[in-house]
């Protein structure tokens, strides 16, 4: 779900905010809203507390900071560290750094997408897995590499994909 940055804020604010999300945002906003250039700090701290910044949260923050929703949306989409949807319980990162790429890193991608039923950057419907690309995990001698949470799996081929997921049931 994306939000139209030109949308009237009253159409999304408080629509689907949980009490926990609202409380976390209020805590961060009350401590930081008056700081110069507070947007980046507020978004970072809210994401640390909640894990992501949904469209209703974006609208809430924009209204509280007195900035256009397009400003919040622009920051979130410019910096790759921000998430607009929650992560799954397990994060699968497929390395496409130089060593992994040239040793077949792209090959397991299609198989992971097929087995999980999601595309890169998406989370499974059961919130079990999020599938992402990363650039280097520092295990180049084991390329191609896949990380599942903190576990590094080396020399991964498409045939290894289903087996690699079993531990994370």
Q: pLDDT of 107-154, one tens digit each?
A: 999 999 999 999 999 999 999 999 999 999 999 999 999 999 999 999
Pick the CATH number of 90-168 from 3.40.50.300, 3.40.30.10, 3.40.50.720, 3.40.250.10: 3.40.30.10
Give the whole-angstrom CA distance, residue 62 versus residue 30. 14
Name the percent of the chain lying above pLDDT 90: 88
117, two tokens: 């039923």
Give the whole-angstrom CA distance, residue 51 versus residue 158. 30
- Span(s) in the chain for CATH 3.40.30.10: 90-168
Q: Does position 169 have pLDDT exceeding 80, yes or no?
A: no
Please give the angle made by the CA atoms of 18, 33 and 87, to the nearest 5 degrees.
40
């Amino acid at each position: 779900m994306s939000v139209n940055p030109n949308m009237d804020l009253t159409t999304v604010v408080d629509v689907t905010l949980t009490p926990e999300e609202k409380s976390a945002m209020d805590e961060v906003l009350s401590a930081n809203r008056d700081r110069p250039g507070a947007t980046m700090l507020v978004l970072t701290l809210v994401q640390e507390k909640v894990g992501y910044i949904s469209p209703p949260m974006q609208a809430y923050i924009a209204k509280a900071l007195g900035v256009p929703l397009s400003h919040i949306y622009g920051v979130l989409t410019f910096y790759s560290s921000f998430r607009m949807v929650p992560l799954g319980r397990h994060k699968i990162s497929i390395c496409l750094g130089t060593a992994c790429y040239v040793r077949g890193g792209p090959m397991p991608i299609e198989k992971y997408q097929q087995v999980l039923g999601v595309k890169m950057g998406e989370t499974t419907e059961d919130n079990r897995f999020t599938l992402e690309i990363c650039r280097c995990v520092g295990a180049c001698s084991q390329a191609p590499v896949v990380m599942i949470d903190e576990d590094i799996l080396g020399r991964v081929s498409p045939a290894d994909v289903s087996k690699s997921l079993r531990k994370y049931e």
